[in-house]
A = this chain, B = another copy of it.
Amino acid sequence: MESRSTRRAGRPSRPILTADAIHRAALELIDKSGADDFSLARLARELGVRMPSLYNHVRNRDDVISGMRTLLAAEIDSSPLRKLPWDEALAAWARSYRDAFARHPNTVKLLATTAVRTPAVLDMYEDFVLALEDAGWPTDQTIGLLTALESFVLGSVLDMVAPEQMIDLSADASRHPRLAAAVAVTPRVDRADEAFELGLAAMLSGMRRRLDEIAASAE
C-alpha cells in the first residue's frame, strides 16, 4: 500500500523538477496570467507539486524572479556593448532588449521594480558601464544613463503590445482637429516601432551632444 501511494505521489509522467524548469514555469505562468498574484504557492499549484518539492530547488520568490530574469537576459544580445561604438552599441542593445521583453510584457512591472542581482544581467550592466567609460563618459553618469534608457525601452514594450490604433477619435474628431490630422498621417502599421526609433534617435543624439560638451569642458 505504502509503496503504491508513494509511486502515485511521485507522478512519474511529470517532467523532472529542476531549478530551470521552475523558472520556465514561472515565466509561462506570468505570461499567461500576469504577475500581480505571482507567488510560490501559485507556482506549485501550476506545476502540480507541493511547496517542499519547490524548496528543494529554489530558495524563495526572489530566487525564482532572478531565474526568470536570467531567461529574459538570455534573449537579449549584449555583444554590441563589447564591439560597437558606444552610441551604436546602446541602440542595438536597446532594440534587442525591447524585442526580448515584448515576448513577455507581463514581466515588465515585476522585473522593473525588483532589485537586480542576477549574474547574467549584472554582466550586461558591467559591459554597459565599460562601453560608456571607454567613450569618455564620467562614471557617475553611467547608471543614470542606463536607467533612463531602460525606462524608455520598457515603456516602449508596453506600447508594442498596445492597440495599433491607440488614439481613438471615433467619438469626437471634430473637437480635436489637429490631433485628428496628426493621427491621420501617422503610420498605422509599425507605429510603435517608428515611435521607438524616433525616441531612441532623439535620446542618443542628446547623449552625444552632452558627451561633446563634457569633452569640451575637460579640455
Residues of B within 8 A of A35 (CB): 34, 36
Q: A105-B109, A122-B176, A130-B178 are in contact. Are A117 and B198 (CB under 8 A)?
A: no
Least distance between A61 CB and chain B CB atoms (Å): 15
Query: How extensive is the interface on chain A, given as a class?
Result: 35 or more
Q: A155-B151, A167-B143 are in contact. Are A126 and B178 (CB under 8 A)?
A: yes
Interface: A217 (CB within 8 A): no
A198 touches B141 (CB 8 A): yes
Complex alpha-carbon distance, A201 and B209, angstroms:
11
Interface: A83 (CB within 8 A): no
A151 touches B148 (CB 8 A): no
Complex alpha-carbon distance, A138 and B31, angstroms:
39
A109 touches B108 (CB 8 A): yes
Q: Mark A189-202, 1 if CB is under 8 A from B, else 0.
A: 00110111011111
Interface: A99 (CB within 8 A): no
Interface: A78 (CB within 8 A): no
Least distance between A147 CB and chain B CB atoms (Å): 4
Complex alpha-carbon distance, A210 and B41, angstroms:
52
B178 touches A129 (CB 8 A): yes
Task: Look across to chain B and name the residue whose beta carbon is closest to the beta carbon of A163.
Answer: B115
Q: Sort A-B residue pairs by CB-CB distance and give the 8 closest, nearest first.
A: A148-B199, A34-B36, A155-B155, A202-B206, A151-B155, A205-B206, A147-B195, A206-B206
Q: List 29 A-B contacts (CB under 8 A).
A: A34-B34, A109-B109, A109-B158, A112-B158, A112-B162, A113-B158, A113-B161, A113-B163, A115-B166, A117-B171, A119-B172, A123-B175, A123-B176, A126-B177, A129-B181, A140-B182, A144-B191, A144-B194, A145-B195, A147-B199, A150-B155, A151-B152, A151-B155, A152-B203, A154-B155, A154-B158, A205-B206, A206-B207, A209-B209
